Amino acid sequence: MASSSDLREKIRKKRRALQESLAKSKDDVDTQALVTTEMEMSSDRGRTEVEELSGSQEQQVTTLKQTLKAQRMRRRRKLLEDTTAEATRGDQPMGTELSEVGEPLDSVTKPRSTRHTQRDLPPLPVETPLRRRVAEKLKAAKSKAETLLQQEALSEPTSCLQSLRDRETLTRFDVETDPRLLSRETGELSTAARVKFQDAAHRVRQKAEMETGLPTAEMAYNFFTFNFDPEPQEEPVKRQKKGRSKRRDRAEEEEEGEEEGDSHGEEEEAGAEQEEEEPEEGRDEDAPLVGDQGSELFIIDQTAQDFLEVKAVDYVGYHSRVQRESEVLFTPSLRTVPASSKVPENRQPRYLEDEGLYVGERPPVSRVNQNILENRILQQDEGKKWFGDDGRVQALPNPIKQSPTRPPLFSLEGDLDPALQTVYRKALKSKHAGRYIPGAGPGEEQRHCQLDVDVAGLIFSHHPLFSREHVLGARLAQLYDQHLARQSRNLTGLLTDKLNGLRNATRNIKDLHGEQGLNMAMRQRMVEYKEEVKNTRILRDTEQEKDRTLLKSIVKVWKEMKALREFQRFTNTAYKLHLRREVVELQKDEQDFEAEIQAELAELRGEFEDEYQRKMEQYSQQHEEWRTWRRKQKARKKKKKAKMRDDGEEEEEEEEQEEEFVGDEPPKPELPEKQDWALAEQQVREKASRWRRRPGEPVLVPDISLSGSITPTEQCPRGEIARREDVSKRSLFVKVLYNDKEVSRTDRRSLSSDFRVHFGQIFNLKIVNWPESVRLQVFEVVGSSSSLLAEVFVPLPDTTVLTGSAPFQELEFGSSQRVAFDHEGVGSDVPFSFEADGSNKLTLLTSGKLSCCISWAVDKNEVPLAPPNSQQPWGVRSGLRQMDAIACIGASGLSDMKKLSKWAAESRLDPNDPSNAMLMQLLTVASSGSVQVPDYFRLEQLQEEFNFVTDEELQRSRRFQLLTLRSQEVAEFRNYKNIPAVEREVSEKIFQDYERRLQEGEVIDTRDHLDAHRALVAKYLQKVRESVVNRFLISKHHFILSDLVQEDEVPSIGVLGLNLFKLAEPKRPLKPQRKERKKVTAQNLSDGDIKVLVNIIRAYDIPIRKPLSSKPPVASKSARPFKEPFAAGQSSQNALQGGDWPLSQSQIRPFVEVSFQRTVCQTTTADGPNPCWNEELELPFSAPNGDYSTSSLQSMKDEVFINIFDEMAFDITEDERERGSSVHTRIERHWLGSVKIPFSTVYLQSRIDGTFKVQSPAVLLGYSKERSLASEGGYDAVRCLSEGSFITLFITIQPQLIPGESVRERMKEIKFDTQEEERLLQAAEVFQRDAALCFPGRPCITTVIDINGKAVFVTRYIRALSPPQELLDAFPNSPQETMELVARYVSLIPSLPDSVSFAGICDIWSTCDQFLTLLAGDEEEHAVLLCNYFLFMKKKAWLIIGTAVPEGPTAYVLTYEQGHYVIWDPSKGQYYGQYDTFCPLQTVGCLINADNVWFNLQPYDTPMRMSFDVTRSKLWKPFFSRAFPNPGLSSVQPEEIAYKRSDKAAAAELQDRIEKVLKEKIMEWRPRHPTRWNRYCTATLRHFLPKLELSRGRDVGEEHRLELHNLLGDYRISGFPLHMAFSELHPLVEMVYSTGVHNVEAPSIEFALAVYVHPYPSSVLSVWVYLASLVRTR
């Protein structure tokens, strides 16, 4: 099927394409193509005829059909090919076909032609050949069919047709069942296909018609509108459903509709028709259809109607449908399902709600729907599972909230939450925005709201000007009003009716049921009724009493009034009371009265009866109890008596016990007494007589009129006249205040004599703001002054209250003003009396009623001019507020516990509703205690419940603590790399240091420092350091672009050109140039990556050994210069000493030992006093904590120690016989001197290259300096000036580390707060920038940072300061000596580089007094102090800012002495001439004195090659010039420094301690050897040290040595005094250690150690340590 339908589809498409192409081509071609296709179709038709003929029997037919179908398919394919081929072939086949046109079709053509003529169309020339061709084709097809089917040949087409026609009916009925079958088999597709083909055929026919040149209207229409889509299939389906009879009819109709040609044609037509029918019924699909159409096309001309059929709507009768549906459908009934069928059997429905469980409100479902649902569900399997225990369909509570949870949002622009306000302030409306009535949108017109205030008038119920009569009158009026009001309410009547009704009801019950027939419920009801009756009666009685008293008081007041009028002889008021009597029937009245009393009595009796009953019951119960108790008592007594007989003594106690046991005796109940009837009756009657109208008494109706006449004024006494005048003077007006603003006021109305004022004015208030309050103020005017009498607040009307319908309100007002008059007016708040004797005083306050009305106005169109209801704050409060707490009390109210609980109580929350659970819990908590509103607010309420662990546990976790501390960069953990993943792996000890540090705080440990003062200073320094570090850390996070982006400079043209030149330069391999090494950033380094390279090249002038001979040293000294060759001199010496040291060949065998971080390397040993090693030593480097960050590297305090030793070999071969065969020597080394270079210097300068002076002790025992050598070398001039030995070094770090960015550059970015002028700072900045631009290498300083972190201009530091007086006094005659002494003093202050103490953060300059207090400072501080001292000594002194080796950027002092300049090294206390080669100062950047700063503009910056004449502005650029003069900066230095006197005792104590410590240390360092101390030597040395101090370590060597030699002739001594400024013990120990004296291992070695501490003022201490080793030679 599918394939066939596909095929059909294809064909259709092809055909359409064909048609389109054909339409374009020539006419004849067109027809040709058409004809051929149609001819093929007609062949099919012919075949069908054949089939029809034979197919009398169904089976045969069907089989045939099937075979045919297959064949058709095949043929169709061929046909398609043919048609396409033919279309191209053109006319050619026409001829052949023409010739083959056969006879049999003539009959067919005839009617056709007639038809054409009828159409008034000229016959087509092609027509006949066409027909012929068709006929021919037909014939061919027939023959084919014949052969195929193997049937008998047909005799004649006509006969065939005829026979067909005859058989027509037969087939119809025969195949009655057949089409159905088929339709079932083939389905709708066949029909669909058929229709398609019909359609196609139709179109083809139209094409044919188009050839005539006259398209029909339909065709035209189709051309434009037809949609060539497959037709929908519904239609054919429907059509198939229809009865067959219709078809028959239709066929006939068609026949009728046609114009009948002749009978033959008709037959033909019918045949065609028949054939059209046939495929519908019998054939499955297309082929027969094609045949049909083909025949139609050619045989008859039909209109479109012929192919369409109009069918009536298929209709099945209602009843039959209902019947049919009722078989399959189930309609649930609408009836209620009995509850029993919904719950499981044998079970009662149970109602959870009754059991107290919460059952939510069900969603509303209509009863009918529910029934339907239940009925339906019950029909299902397991239908009952849908029902709950209560027999209802299970349902969740209604989820729909009655109100929105959110308070409705009315205006988006209005009062925004402040948290949401955006920053654009301007756009916000004014704060009164919310008070305006909305609706004033930009486009909309401002809405008018109008409030009408109608002030009608006012009546005073009391006024100061009231006369007494007025008072009474007012009271009367008031009472009368009350009376009227009561009457209108008629409470008494109502209650009486109710009472009667109740009584009737009770009686009815009694009558109906009788006394005994009452069941429980009825009895209950009776009791209730009785109770009700009783209550009602009491109520009625009180009401009646009130009525009566009111009436009485009215009468009484009236009587008083009358009396008063009589008394004063005039009347002021027009009140008149009439009492109208309504006569009543006495008889009936009496009856009623009696009946009423009787009824009451009866009820009372009943009540009494009940009461008595109850009491009796109670009594009997109590009595019973009492009796049982009595009986027990008696029994016990009997027992007691029996016991008494047994034992007398025990009895007493027991009795007491007994007594206690029995306890209190129940009181003997009294018999309730009967009520006294007579008394009761009397009471009732009395009451009735008092409160009720007596029988026969007429009903009194009071009536007050104002008809009385008022006495004219003339006739009144004077007081009254005065009062009346006063009254007439007064007038009143009312102000209307809207939102506390006066909007209008009434006219003034004078006060009338009856104290009523009528205004009758209406004010129309057009309002913009929200109405908040409307106030009326009553003013009283006397003369020209007005006073506020009272104020009335008028409630704002609801928006529904409109003008016209609004009732008047009477608003009471009052005033507490005290008014008193001397006339008849009673005044206000003043006591007065009606009595003549003044008793029974009354005090009345002014009061009254204001009658007014406020309403919203209505405009012409009856539209209320009220604001929208919803916006009104009081309009929202509707039923919702009960349900939603927020809507009711507002969100802020939720935190107010009291408000909330109140609301909860009011709204009667369902305590079982889960949605209220939170609220209820809150409330129970709140209400359990006295309502305790906590004064705190819990942020995360349920946090506690869900916590994993407690806070403490979290706090206790060591790992977390460690992580946090690390991330906080706490010093101890800053670079902690790996933190264990598991808690237990974190050791507890890890925090010990940290915690100790935290705990220590202020505690000062003097043990480490030996000196309390120094400990304090250390503490203070630490603090300063911390604060600076913190300050720096903050600024460290302030990044600039260059911190983050490293950008290589783009080479400029000049640089490029230069490089090009370089290419052209000749190569000079013999002049190698140092290449820049690649720099490594420090962060990704680890231990072992970095090495310190120390290149030791050579040394000069190392002291040589001195033979231990008795020869006077002077001789040797003098002798040596004459020795020409160096070695020769030695040999001669050796010859002398040969016996002692046979192995020591040379005068000295020095080697260098470099120690760094406790790793030690040493060079090979060289010979002679000017050795040359040229060796490279590699020392591994490790940073503290593995932290290789720049800041940590900068703050490293490690130093590179370079020690020069003399290696001495001693022959210790003891056995002389072995001397020939073995060598046994011991090597000793003697310290000669050292050079210390701090690592930070190496790091910051990246390399240190130069010749350094070796720090050698002033005296080296056993060694001597060869001064004479000066003439030998080339350095004569130089070396003769300088003393000591020198060493040439090159130190660097491998790989090269990037030094931390220059401290000063860094600091430039950070702006320090300052007190300097802005102008000065700017100038300083410019000056520095210019300097850096011209000479980037030269340091230039204008502003520095003081200890408080403030920027200070540098010249402020320079100020003449006096040195300690004792220093000045030391050498009064020699200024040179004094200067040296002062320099020494300064140098004795320990030096502590800032970069170390402040972690390379910044250079801090402290003032001199701070410096002396701290006793620690940088080169700058030393230099400043020294410079200041020199200035005091009237020297010309400057501060030099420059660089020096090895310390780098530093500060020196320059003085001008007798025509030449002297450079002072302040931290060493040494001075150099300007042309001194070994001056450590390398570059000079600027000079500073108190007045100015000069920057070096000379081409050279080494001191030797420059001029220090600052007056030459070409060479020195001054900061303050004529353009910018010095503003006269005041100094930051103190006027004078107070020096502490030197403390000798403390020094001595310190001296002992140091000595002790050092001795201990030395013994500690020699763990395997005994350490012997030569006391004698020590004493000698100690004696000697002060001398050294005095001479500052110079020029004492020889004498000293001689002295020593004399003392210890038979010892070989090697030793030296060490000198240093005292800061701490630790460096001292380090220094002693580095000399390596303790390493001597000679068995007979002895040591001598002496310490001397020389105190200078201000605790500056100079420490001398004399260290010697002695070896006994004999």
Partner 1 sequence: MAELHIIGQIVGASGFPHSSLFCKWGIHAGGAWRLLSGLREGQTQVDSPQTSDMAFWSHPIDLHYATKGLQGWPKLHLQVWHQDLFGRCELSGYGYCHVPSSPGHHRLRCATWRPLGSWQEQLAQSFVGGGPQLRFPDVIYSGADRYRLHTAAGGTVELELAVILRNFDKYGVES
Quickly count: other Cβ atoms within 10 Å of residue 1258's Cβ: 20
Q: Is residue 417 involved in binding partner 1 (CB under 8 A)?
A: yes
Pairing of strands 699-705, 730-738: unpaired
Of residues 292-351, those binding partner 1 (CB under 8 A): none
- Among the candidate windows 109-117, 699-707, 939-947, 1093-1101, which touches partner 1 by CB under 8 A? 939-947
| Closer residue to partner 1, CB minimum distance, 805 or 943 | 943
Q: Is 145 exposed, middle or buried (0-12, 13-18, 19+ CB in 10 A)?
A: buried
Q: What is the largest CA-CA distance in the chain?
A: 180
- The answer to whether 48 and 283 are in contact (CB under 8 A) is yes
Nearest to 1396 by CA among 1245, 1238, 1249: 1238
Q: How far is CA 844 from CA 428, 467, 475, in A?
A: 55, 12, 11
Tokens found for residue 1224: 């046994």
**Which residue in this structure is represented by tokens 């009052």?**
814
| Closer residue to partner 1, CB minimum distance, 424 or 661 | 424
Backbone angles phi and psi of 451, in degrees to 5: -115, 125
- The answer to whether 572 and 753 are in contact (CB under 8 A) is yes
Q: Is residue 427 involved in binding partner 1 (CB under 8 A)?
A: yes
Question: Residues 954, 1034, 1058, 1127: which binds partner 1 (CB under 8 A)?
Answer: 954
* Nearest distance from C-beta of residue 919 to partner 1, angstroms: 20
Tokens found for residue 353: 């709600």
| Closer residue to partner 1, CB minimum distance, 140 or 963 | 963
Question: Residues 861, 943, 1046, 1530: which binds partner 1 (CB under 8 A)?
Answer: 943
- Among the candidate windows 230-238, 390-398, 962-970, 1282-1290, which touches partner 1 by CB under 8 A? 962-970
* Nearest distance from C-beta of residue 417 to partner 1, angstroms: 5
What is the DSSP secondary-structure string of 1385-1451? HHHTSPB--HHHHTTTS--EEPPHHHHHHHT-B-HHHHHHHHHHHHHHTT-EEEEEEEEETTTEEEE
Tokens found for residue 302: 């039909």
Q: Is residue 982 involved in binding partner 1 (CB under 8 A)?
A: no
Question: Residues 316, 328, 423, 1040: which binds partner 1 (CB under 8 A)?
Answer: 423
| Closer residue to partner 1, CB minimum distance, 668 or 1038 | 1038
Question: Residues 358, 960, 976, 1576: which binds partner 1 (CB under 8 A)?
Answer: 960
Backbone angles phi and psi of 624, in degrees to 5: -60, -50
DSSP 805: T
Q: Is residue 940 involved in binding partner 1 (CB under 8 A)?
A: yes
* Nearest distance from C-beta of residue 1027 to partner 1, angstroms: 25
- The answer to whether 1455 and 1430 are in contact (CB under 8 A) is yes
Of residues 396-415, those binding partner 1 (CB under 8 A): 406, 409, 412-413
* Nearest distance from C-beta of residue 1180 to partner 1, angstroms: 32
Q: How far is CA 538 from CA 524, 551, 608, 687, in A?
A: 21, 20, 16, 11
| Closer residue to partner 1, CB minimum distance, 623 or 959 | 959
| Closer residue to partner 1, CB minimum distance, 425 or 1522 | 425
Question: Residues 25, 60, 402, 421: which binds partner 1 (CB under 8 A)?
Answer: 421
- Among the candidate windows 397-405, 960-968, 1133-1141, 1469-1477, which touches partner 1 by CB under 8 A? 960-968
DSSP 1505: G
* Nearest distance from C-beta of residue 977 to partner 1, angstroms: 13
* Nearest distance from C-beta of residue 997 to partner 1, angstroms: 21
Of residues 1239-1278, those binding partner 1 (CB under 8 A): none
Quickly count: other Cβ atoms within 10 Å of residue 186's Cβ: 16
| Closer residue to partner 1, CB minimum distance, 649 or 940 | 940
Say how far apart CA 1645 and CA 150 lie, in whole Å.
148
* Nearest distance from C-beta of residue 918 to partner 1, angstroms: 17
What is the DSSP secondary-structure string of 950-964? -HHHHHH-HHHHHHH
| Closer residue to partner 1, CB minimum distance, 952 or 1369 | 952
Q: Is residue 953 involved in binding partner 1 (CB under 8 A)?
A: yes
Q: Is 408 exposed, middle or buried (0-12, 13-18, 19+ CB in 10 A)?
A: exposed
- Among the candidate windows 264-272, 418-426, 574-582, 1092-1100, which touches partner 1 by CB under 8 A? 418-426
* Nearest distance from C-beta of residue 426 to partner 1, angstroms: 8
DSSP three-state, residue 1073: coil
Say how far apart CA 1 and CA 8 lie, in whole Å.
10
Q: Is residue 444 involved in binding partner 1 (CB under 8 A)?
A: no
Say how far apart CA 1355 and CA 1540 lie, in whole Å.
27
How many binding residues for partner 1 (CB under 8 A)? 33
Tokens found for residue 1303: 């401290």
Q: Is residue 424 involved in binding partner 1 (CB under 8 A)?
A: yes
Q: Is residue 905 involved in binding partner 1 (CB under 8 A)?
A: no
Q: Is residue 508 involved in binding partner 1 (CB under 8 A)?
A: no
Say how far apart CA 17 and CA 19 lie, in whole Å.
5
Pairing of strands 699-705, 576-582: antiparallel
Q: Which amino acid is at 1414?
A: L
| Closer residue to partner 1, CB minimum distance, 350 or 429 | 429
DSSP three-state, residue 1612: strand
| Closer residue to partner 1, CB minimum distance, 319 or 431 | 431
Q: Is residue 1047 involved in binding partner 1 (CB under 8 A)?
A: no
| Closer residue to partner 1, CB minimum distance, 976 or 1524 | 976
Pairing of strands 1493-1496, 1516-1518: antiparallel
Question: Residues 210, 806, 889, 963: which binds partner 1 (CB under 8 A)?
Answer: 963
| Closer residue to partner 1, CB minimum distance, 962 or 1660 | 962
Q: How far is CA 1242 from CA 302, 1079, 1091, 1199, 1292, in A?
A: 118, 15, 12, 9, 7
| Closer residue to partner 1, CB minimum distance, 951 or 1047 | 951
- The answer to whether 411 and 418 are in contact (CB under 8 A) is no
What sign does the dihedral 24-29-33-35 (CA atoms) show? positive
Q: Is residue 583 involved in binding partner 1 (CB under 8 A)?
A: no
Question: Residues 649, 740, 951, 1002: which binds partner 1 (CB under 8 A)?
Answer: 951
* Nearest distance from C-beta of residue 427 to partner 1, angstroms: 5
| Closer residue to partner 1, CB minimum distance, 316 or 939 | 939
Element (H, E) at 1465: strand 1460-1465
- Among the candidate windows 361-369, 881-889, 942-950, 1256-1264, which touches partner 1 by CB under 8 A? 942-950
| Closer residue to partner 1, CB minimum distance, 6 or 413 | 413
| Closer residue to partner 1, CB minimum distance, 924 or 947 | 947
Binding mask 1539-1568 for partner 1 (x = CB under 8 A): ------------------------------
- Among the candidate windows 935-943, 1331-1339, 1527-1535, 1543-1551, which touches partner 1 by CB under 8 A? 935-943
Partners of 812 in beta bridges: 849
Question: Residues 949, 1115, 1298, 1548: which binds partner 1 (CB under 8 A)?
Answer: 949
**Which residue in this structure is represented by tokens 């025992």?**
1261
Q: Is residue 1362 involved in binding partner 1 (CB under 8 A)?
A: no
Say how far apart CA 1673 and CA 890 lie, in whole Å.
108
What is the DSSP secondary-structure string of 249-264? HHHHHHHHHSPP--HH
Q: Is residue 1475 involved in binding partner 1 (CB under 8 A)?
A: no
Which residues lie near partner 1 (CB under 8 A)? Answer: 406, 409, 412-413, 416-424, 426-427, 939-940, 942-943, 946-951, 953-954, 957, 960, 963-964, 966-967
